Amino acid sequence: MEKPIKPLIEIVKLNSRLFLNCFDGVDDAVAVRRMDEKVNNMAFVAVHLADARVHLVNYLGKPLRNPFEEFTDVRSIDEVKTFPSVEILRTEWKKASSELEGVLLQCSSATLSEPSVENFPLGDKTKLGVLAFILQHESYHIGQLALLRKHFGLAAMKYE
């Protein structure tokens, strides 16, 4: 394993676990509830996160089918009529997480230093920069999931 990737793999592992912890005790009814019409529900955020992980696996060179392909061009929760169950969200997250960890373990410094074709708002325009950005993006949304679960009366997300 290349040194630059080690701390990011730890973040992937942490976010993988925290995502699942956010859904502990969450049923399908809670997953689709909204605080109000301006706030996304847990299911929408979860699909977005899983979609980003699948994109990252593909971006780093391993073909992976997106189980939520019908959401790829969705820009607003108001466009969605039905959401996957919590069980499906958790299952697909685990698959994407396993694939991401595997592809990251195979990444070389040369691959990580390749120029990015993505246009994210960051100074590092390499694949490593994109990886760091997407992992920060995941962390942001996992915080949203943790807040939503508390809002709906569930215990705080656990780190263990």
Separation of alpha carbons 148 and 154, rounded Å: 9
What are the domain boundaries of the chain?
3-151
Please give the pLDDT value at position 2: 59
Q: Is 33 exposed, middle or buried (0-12, 13-18, 19+ CB in 10 A)?
A: middle
Please give the pLDDT value at position 120: 83
Residue 142 has pLDDT above 60, yes or no: yes
Q: Which of these ranges, 9-13, 38-42, 107-111, 145-149, has the smallest mean pLDDT?
A: 107-111
Both tokens of residue 53? 């992980």
> Over the stretch 87-120, which tens digit does the pLDDT of each residue have?
999 999 999 999 999 999 999 888 899 999 888 8
> Over the stretch 26-79, which tens digit does the pLDDT of each residue have?
999 999 999 999 999 999 999 999 999 999 999 999 999 999 999 988 989 999
Please give the pLDDT value at position 1: 55
Q: Which of 156, 130, 124, 128 is nearest to 143 (CA)?
A: 156
The CATH code belonging to domain 3-151 is 1.20.120.450
Query: At a CB cut-off of 8 Å and minimum separation 6, what does 109 contact?
Result: 2, 4
Query: At a CB cut-off of 8 Å and minimum separation 6, what does 151 contact?
Result: 35
C-alpha dist (Å) from residue 48 to 3, 42, 141? 29, 10, 9
- Give the global pTM: 0.94
Separation of alpha carbons 69 and 26, rounded Å: 24
Residue 3 has pLDDT above 90, yes or no: no
Both tokens of residue 103? 């592809």
Please give the pLDDT value at position 78: 93
